[in-house]
Amino acid sequence: MRLLLDFAPILAFFVAYRIGGIYTATAVLMAATVVQMGIVWALDRRLQAMHKVTLALILIFGALTLVLQDERFIKWKPTVLYGALALVLAAALWGWRRNVLQQLLGSQLPLPPAVWHRLALAWIAYCVFMAALNGAVAAWFSTDAWVDFKLWGYVFPLAFLVGQGLYVARHLKDKTA
């Protein structure tokens, strides 16, 4: 259910783009994300920081796209999001000597500090990769190609999360022993 909920706004964006173009799709994405966050709020009675940031960026970049009639804003939103996430993770890890992932998930995943460090590095690299990839597609390809990338590009986060899950699973202590 959660995966479907996470995927719904991008699917709505894709369908709306095919029917009405980038500006219609942007308005649909904005509305679908507001509805999505409303459902998350109803289920959890709170929004995580990432939900709030994503919602804010979609509403800001979407509004700029619609008001200025310039599709570049919505196309660059993922690059800004991934870049900001990489920057926050890196600044916390190297500047403040804090592992944000460990702080957020440490109580749920009892992992050694070295594993948490490698996970943080992997997330930083992944976010930089995704920011660069979206930026390249947004800058050098047509809007049609970028929209297709947004839909089929979900293979990257899915593969990354599966890889992370397999890596973490190797390091979790067996609680049944």
Q: Do 15 and 62 share a domain, yes or no?
A: yes
**pLDDT for 116:** 94
Task: Give the number of other Cβ atoms within 10 Å of residue 123's Cβ.
Answer: 20
User: What predicted TM-score, i.e. pTM, was given to this entire model?
Assistant: 0.86
Estimate the crossing angle of helix 2-20 against helix 22-44, to 10 degrees: 160
- How confident is the model over 71-100, as pLDDT tens digits? 999 999 999 999 999 999 999 999 999 999
Q: Do 125 and 172 share a domain, yes or no?
A: yes
Q: Do 78 and 50 share a domain, yes or no?
A: no
**pLDDT for 176:** 41
Phi, psi of 45, rounded to the nearest 5 degrees:
60, 25
Total domains in the fold of the chain: 2
- How confident is the model over 127-164, as pLDDT tens digits? 999 999 999 999 999 999 999 999 888 899 989 999 99
Give the chain's mean pLDDT.
Answer: 92
**pLDDT for 174:** 53
Q: Do 24 and 94 share a domain, yes or no?
A: no
Q: Do 80 and 49 share a domain, yes or no?
A: no
Does 110 score more than 90 pLDDT? no
